[in-house]
């Protein structure tokens, strides 16, 4: 099967893309509106961009030709929090994914607990073991999506999910996004060590990757 993405209707293109580009991390993003409403919503078009400075990116699509609450809140306040989604809060995350009016707090609808952040105004999700407090550094429009780059100015990690200074997936039990209504667990973990290249095949200072 060979597909020219430009030939597909938008809905079919979306469905094929999310089923083929897998698994994807879920950024459970909490924001605060100018009116003071705490919102939170999950996004699976997200990624880590750099580690020093620590930068995350999320891509937020439009709804009926208008920006979603998350993108609008971030552009208005320039702050947001990315919370890790675990098996324990998967159902609550799914409730928060509904198309609620801007005045409605997904925290309340999903039964999640907002707790104060340290350096930004939006609340963190108390039930999530990892929270990145972010400040917006850039917003880029790609088609009908707003890609938001945020520098993590604070990182909160529950000691209960740490092993030797790292987040332990066996303890945190994060979930990933697949296609359609499907998600995946991260408990079947294996290791592959990166090869160490020496001699004439090793990259030198003039090689670009």
Instruction: Determine the Cα–Cα distance for residues 108 and 81; give it in Å rounded to an integer.
Output: 17
Domains of the chain: 5-195 (2.30.110.10)
**pLDDT tens, residue order, the chain (209 aa):** 888 888 989 889 888 988 898 899 999 999 999 999 999 999 999 999 999 999 999 999 988 888 999 999 999 999 999 999 999 999 999 999 999 999 999 999 999 999 999 999 999 999 999 999 999 999 999 999 999 999 999 999 999 999 999 999 999 999 999 999 999 999 898 999 999 999 888 888 777 66
CB 102 within 8 A of CB 69: yes
pTM to 2 decimals? 0.92
> Could you tell me if 59 and 42 are in contact, meaning their C-beta atoms sit under 8 angstroms apart?
no
């Amino acid at each position: 099967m060979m597909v020219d993405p430009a030939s597909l209707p938008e809905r079919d293109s979306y469905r094929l893309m999310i089923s083929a580009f897998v698994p994807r991390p879920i950024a459970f993003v909490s924001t605060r509106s100018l009116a003071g409403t705490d919102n939170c919503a999950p996004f699976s078009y997200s990624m880590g961009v750099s580690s020093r400075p620590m930068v995350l990116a999320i891509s937020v699509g439009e709804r009926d030709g208008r920006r979603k609450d998350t993108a609008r809140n971030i552009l208005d306040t320039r702050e947001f929090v990315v919370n890790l989604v675990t098996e324990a809060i998967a159902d609550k995350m799914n409730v928060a994914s509904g198309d609620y009016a801007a005045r409605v707090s997904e925290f309340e609808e999903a039964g999640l607990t907002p707790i104060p952040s340290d350096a930004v105004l939006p609340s963190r999700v108390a039930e999530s073991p990892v929270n990145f407090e972010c400040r917006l550094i850039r917003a880029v429009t790609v088609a009908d999506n707003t890609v938001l780059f945020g520098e993590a100015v604070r990182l909160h990690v529950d000691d209960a999910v740490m092993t030797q200074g790292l987040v332990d997936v066996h303890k945190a039990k994060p979930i990933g996004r697949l296609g359609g209504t499907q998600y995946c667990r991260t408990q079947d973990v294996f290791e592959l060590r990166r090869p160490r290249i020496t001699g004439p095949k090793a990259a030198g200072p003039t090689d670009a990757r």
